[in-house]
A and B are shown apart, each in its own frame.
Chain A
């Protein structure tokens, strides 16, 4: 999945207890396994990102299973409650078990 480019949008700082939004986007064609090769008629095998997780200082915030109905270049917006300054770690896993990881730091005051 070396070609997949991930982007995350996390505020630089937040007040303790504040609930802030995180937006994530990764480039991936999310081949559904339903499409056929127009010339040969053969089914194009499924190849999707099937799992996405976000941890905050090591604790799980959100853990998603994705199915082929998720659009290409999957987008996910969700919320995190500010607790301590630290790191948000994002991880996408595809059908081959390959992963893309990204981190963002946040200051909580």
Chain B
């Protein structure tokens, strides 16, 4: 899984002054990291291979308030009985618990698109994993810069 490489973690840890300020406000928070996020994803998809594409994430580049960050996604799919999106799982690598939401769709959804709002503790990668009805899994990853973290402390 190259998408969750060690290099990403190192790059994140040096992601600038804004991130430093945000994380220094949350000194004793045991944040999740890329490894525990990868483990959480593996729990869901098992030994299947993650493919890139088909799923797009809609996120702000910079979130001023980590308490409520809008997040949306859409998966390209006809959403019919034989070929639909079973579920989309959202993860935030830098939050105390990487799981954000698991959303199970059905053909009655018509479109595998949804939007919600989430908390982000600090600047980090957001990962969306889509499970298709044929068993294939797709992922997308986007970085969000967070000015003020939103997980209490």
Contacts and interface: CB of A to CB of B under 8 A. Distances in A.
Q: Quick one: which of B68, B152, B153 has the most chain A CB within 10 A?
A: B152
Contact of B113 (A63, A67, A68, A78): A78
A62 B103 contact: yes
B16 interface: no
Interface string B54-95: 000000000000011100100000010000000000001001
A69 B114 contact: no
B109 A62 contact: yes
B142 interface: no
Contacts of A36: 152-153
Nearest to B100: A69
Interface in B109-153: 109-111, 113-120, 150-153
A28 to B, nearest CB: 12
Contact of A69 (B99, B103, B108, B110): B99
A72 B104 CA distance: 21
Interface stretch (A4-12, A79-87, A91-99): A79-87
Interface string A42-69: 0010000000000010011111111111
A50 B109 CA distance: 21
A35 to B, nearest CB: 3
Contacts, number: 107
A76 interface: yes
Chain B interface size, as a band, is 35 or more
Given A34-B29, A34-B151, A78-B114, A62 B92 contact: no
Contact of A56 (B72, B95, B108): B108
Contacts of A1: none
B36 interface: no
A61 B109 contact: yes
Interface of B: 29, 67-69, 72, 79, 92, 95-97, 99-111, 113-120, 150-153
Interface of A: 19, 32, 34-36, 44, 56, 59-72, 74-81, 83
Given A36-B153, A64-B102, 15 more contacts: A32-B151, A36-B152, A62-B109, A65-B101, A67-B97, A69-B101, A69-B118, A70-B101, A71-B117, A71-B118, A72-B67, A79-B109, A79-B110, A81-B108, A81-B111
